[in-house]
């Protein structure tokens, strides 16, 4: 694993305290959207290969030991297309309007973790979801930042979310309540109700995504902390393990890109493009992203890939499927970036 400094020990428990004091209190953006306080204390430990920050498991592979903060005076939100970088759970999401600019133009206080929209890839339409604002809830927002409604969950430590073409919403469980067994996926039919719980072969569920046929894929760690990819075929009630023809090192985003099922590897900063037949995923292409340290979640739009970089403490924009070095870097406030998605009014 490529874990810098004190965090370079995946099989044991490693402690790290990172302190930054940059002010506190809740500010208000010019348009009324709340701006999160910029003070944070990031106390991190590893349990096996799972990173815990302030006692909560997170889906990043590693943590930059020196998070940075900048003061922000948000502009009014006038764009039609927005990108969202979700920071640590329960902190805030930064709002961007790339390619108009790379500067943060607003924040959503309380959001955090990962995000998803009502699109398999590209810009979602009018809404986006976030399972990390508070425990036991997944939140739906109207673009650009209005909290619209919430759905209840029986699990505290959620991880991912994904929506299929029919409007069903899948929410992943990183770790069970009271740090018990995790790996479940809760599916809300038509994004409503209380959801149906599906057990998976995973001990830790990190990311999930649908393909255009309604099959749901998720990755994470098996009980031995080895990478695993699983699938819930459309119409089935049981997840099955999908064998990959290569060996990803650390779970990353699972997303359809218009042609292939893709899995991002947080350790190698690569996207693997697969074709899937039965329970076998065959690697077709590998795309390398230079300069990324730990894309905790990525989101693909036509021609681009957005990265929430927990290692570099920023958000990055890459060409897709070309890969290579970033073509842009988002600027603003970041506290352990964990998720990214994109949506339009």
Average pLDDT for the chain: 86
In this prediction, residues 233-259 reach a mean pLDDT of 98
Determine the distance from the C-alpha atom of residue 258 to the mean position of all C-alpha atoms in its chain, rounded to a whole number: 19
> Higher model confidence: residue 5 or residue 263?
263
- What is the pLDDT, as a whole number, of residue 179? 84
132 and 49 in a common domain: no
277 and 149 in a common domain: yes
202-231, pLDDT tens digit by residue?
A: 999 999 999 999 999 999 999 889 999 999
Q: Is residue 35 predicted with pLDDT exceeding 60?
A: no
Q: Which of 40-54, 61-75, 159-173 has the highest mean pLDDT?
A: 159-173
- What is the pLDDT, as a whole number, of residue 135? 66
Decide if 176 contacts 194 (C-beta within 8 A). no
Decide if 36 contacts 26 (C-beta within 8 A). yes
48 and 96 in a common domain: no
In this prediction, residues 276-296 reach a mean pLDDT of 98
Q: Is residue 174 predicted with pLDDT exceeding 60?
A: yes
* Domain limits for position 140: 81-344
Q: Domain of 157: which CATH number?
A: 2.120.10.30
Rounded distance, CA 36 to CA 34, Å? 6
- For residue 87, CA distances in Å to 42, 105, 184, 283, 337 come to 12, 15, 23, 31, 4
Q: Is residue 201 predicted with pLDDT exceeding 50?
A: yes
319 and 193 in a common domain: yes
Which pTM was predicted?
A: 0.87
Q: Is residue 245 predicted with pLDDT exceeding 80?
A: yes
Q: Is residue 105 predicted with pLDDT exceeding 90?
A: yes
120-131, pLDDT tens digit by residue?
A: 999 999 999 999
86 and 42 in a common domain: no
In this prediction, residues 150-155 reach a mean pLDDT of 92
Determine the distance from the C-alpha atom of residue 136 to the mean position of all C-alpha atoms in its chain, rounded to a whole number: 17
226 and 282 in a common domain: yes
172 and 87 in a common domain: yes
**Residue percentage of the chain with pLDDT more than 70:** 84
Enumerate the β-bridge partners of residue 178.
Answer: none
DSSP string over 224-256 = TS-EEEEEE-TT-SS-EEEEESS--SS---EEE
187 and 44 in a common domain: no
């Amino acid at each position: 694993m490529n874990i810098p400094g004190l965090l370079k020990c995946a099989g044991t428990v490693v402690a790290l305290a990172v302190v930054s004091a940059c002010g506190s209190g809740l500010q208000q953006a010019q348009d009324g959207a709340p701006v999160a306080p910029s003070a944070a204390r990031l106390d991190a430990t590893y349990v096996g290969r799972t990173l815990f920050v302030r006692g909560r498991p997170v889906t990043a592979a590693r943590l930059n030991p020196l998070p940075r903060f900048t003061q922000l005076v948000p502009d009014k939100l006038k764009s039609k297309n927005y990108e969202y970088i979700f920071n640590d759970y329960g902190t805030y999401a930064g709002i961007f309007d790339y390619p108009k600019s790379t500067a943060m133009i607003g924040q959503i206080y309380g959001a955090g973790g990962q995000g998803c929209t009502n699109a398999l890839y590209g810009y979602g339409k009018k809404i986006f979801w976030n399972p990390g604002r508070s425990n036991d809830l997944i939140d739906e927002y109207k673009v650009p930042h209005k909290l619209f409604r919430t759905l209840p969950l029986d699990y505290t430590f959620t991880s991912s979310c994904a929506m299929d073409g029919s409007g069903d919403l899948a929410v992943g469980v990183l770790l069970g309540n009271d740090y018990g067994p995790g790996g479940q996926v809760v599916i809300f039919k038509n994004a409503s109700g209380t959801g149906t719980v599906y057990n998976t072969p995973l001990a830790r569920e990190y990311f999930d995504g649908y393909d255009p046929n309604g099959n749901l894929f998720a990755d994470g760690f098996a009980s031995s902390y080895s990478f695993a990819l699983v699938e819930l075929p459309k119409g089935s009630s049981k997840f099955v393990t999908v064998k990959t023809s290569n060996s990803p090192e650390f779970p990353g985003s699972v997303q359809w890109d218009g042609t292939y099922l893709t899995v991002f590897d947080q350790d190698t900063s690569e996207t693997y493009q697969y074709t899937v037949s039965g329970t076998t995923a065959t690697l077709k292409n590998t795309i390398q992203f230079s300069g990324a340290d730990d894309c905790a979640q990525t989101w693909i739009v036509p021609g681009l890939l957005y990265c929430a970089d927990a290692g570099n403490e920023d958000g990055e924009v890459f060409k897709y499927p070309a890969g290579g070095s970033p073509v842009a870097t988002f600027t603003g406030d970041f506290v352990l970036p964990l998720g990214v998605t994109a949506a339009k009014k």
